[in-house]
Structure 1
Amino acid sequence: MKICVFCSANQQIDPEFFTMTEALGKWAAENGHTIVFGGVNQGLMECVGKATKEAGGRTIGVIPTKVEETGRISDYVEIEIPCDNLTDRKQLMMDQSDVFIALPGGIGTIDEVFTVAASATIGYHHKPVILYNMKGFWNDLIALLDGLQAKGMIRGDWRQYIKVADSIEEISRLIS
């Protein structure tokens, strides 16, 4: 299975997020999954790529030209898919992947989650989107989604399109 990981490219974040991300990359490799990621050599992106490769797994980096121009490509990208911009990147990641997992991240990660989830709501795909709720990181977003649903702004239950997992074991159950 190709697992797309959306996550932070920042270094100055909770160190436990790196430990948990490393475990996810190792788990993916040990279970024969390929990691599709942003291909940047910083933050959780670098961490998941490195952990996956060091455990014998495969990685695919979908890398915008702006990242290439600044020399921030991870050494752990096995297959590089170049793209022009972030819109292209999201489409290529959707096309390449069977499931999407969002680790802690900021505006870019949230954009990716909602682009993929919104595409599912109107039937472009039926691929799982999972918030890996490391240490409760996504609790505020979950509360926001619950509030939007309570106000009638989301048709059906948002959990039809976005799942929440607190552990790798839960992720494993959601994608099997």
Structure 2
Amino acid sequence: MRVGIFCSANNQIDAVYFEKTAELGRWLAQNGHEVVFGGCNLGLMECVARAAVEAGGHTVGVVPGIIEEHGRTSAFVSELVMCKDLNERKALMLGRSDVFVALPGGVGTLDEVFTVVASYTIGYHRKRVVLYNVNGFWNSLIALLKDMDGKGVIRGDWRAYIGVADNLEELQQQMMISTNQ
């Protein structure tokens, strides 16, 4: 599988997020899956790429010019794909990934998740996003989705295009569901 990773580029976050991200990166590499990520050398982006490469895996870093200009491109990019901006990065990652995993992240991660989800709901693709709910990180978003669903403003069942996994085993199962659609 080609697994798109959405996540934080912040180093000042809980250590457990780094532990679970490294575990995921190693597992992806050891099982022959490709990591497609934002190509930055900060936070969980760097962590997942480092873990994957050190475990013998292949990474694709989709890097906007501004990231490269600031010297923030990860040294753990096996294949570099340059792009002009964040919109192009999202489009390239969508085209190069079979499934997406959202690790803990901020507004950029939310933007990426909902770009994929919105395009799924109107029929552009059938690729799911799995929220890796490390230590309940995504609980607030899940509650919001349930609330919105209850109010009738979400098209279809959001669980068809957004999976939730609380641990690596559940994440593996959700990724398989995603690629078997």
TM-score tier, shorter chain, comes to over 0.9
Map of 2:99 onto structure 1: 99
Map of 1:23 onto structure 2: 23
Question: Mind listing any 5+ residue stretches in structure 1 that lack a counterpart?
Answer: none
Letter in 1 for 2:91: Q
Give the SS at the match of 1:67.
helix
Give the SS at the match of 1:163.
strand
Structure 2 CA distance for aligned equivalents of residues 85 and 144 of structure 1: 29
Question: Per-residue deviation at 1:161?
Answer: 1.2
Q: Any conservation in 1 of the 2:130–2:175 contact (CA below 8 Å)?
A: no
Structure 2 CA distance for aligned equivalents of residues 171 and 139 of structure 1: 16
Bigger drift between 160-169 and 41-50 goes to: 160-169
Map of 2:156 onto structure 1: 156
Instruction: Give TM-score, length-normalised by structure 1.
Output: 0.99
Question: Per-residue deviation at 1:156?
Answer: 1.9
Q: Any conservation in 1 of the 2:164–2:174 contact (CA below 8 Å)?
A: no
Bigger drift between 24-33 and 156-165 goes to: 156-165
How large is the Cα RMSD of the aligned pairs? 0.6
Structure 1 CA distance for aligned equivalents of residues 126 and 66 of structure 2: 31
Deviation string 1:48-93 (CA, Å, 9 cap, x unpaired) is 0000000000000000000010000000001000000000000000
**Residue correspondence of structure 1 range 61-72 to structure 2 within 5 A:** 61-72=61-72
Give the SS at the match of 2:21.
helix
Sequence identity (%):
59
Question: Mind listing any 5+ residue stretches in structure 2 that lack a counterpart?
Answer: 177-181
Question: Per-residue deviation at 1:14?
Answer: 0.3
Give the SS at the match of 2:5.
strand
Map of 2:173 onto structure 1: 173
Letter in 2 for 1:137: F
Runs of 4+ in structure 1 off by over 3 angstroms are none
Count, aligned residues: 176
Instruction: Give TM-score, length-normalised by structure 2.
Output: 0.96
Give the SS at the match of 2:59.
strand
Give the SS at the match of 2:111.
helix
Deviation string 1:132-151 (CA, Å, 9 cap, x unpaired) is 00000000000111111111
Structure 2 CA distance for aligned equivalents of residues 157 and 173 of structure 1: 19
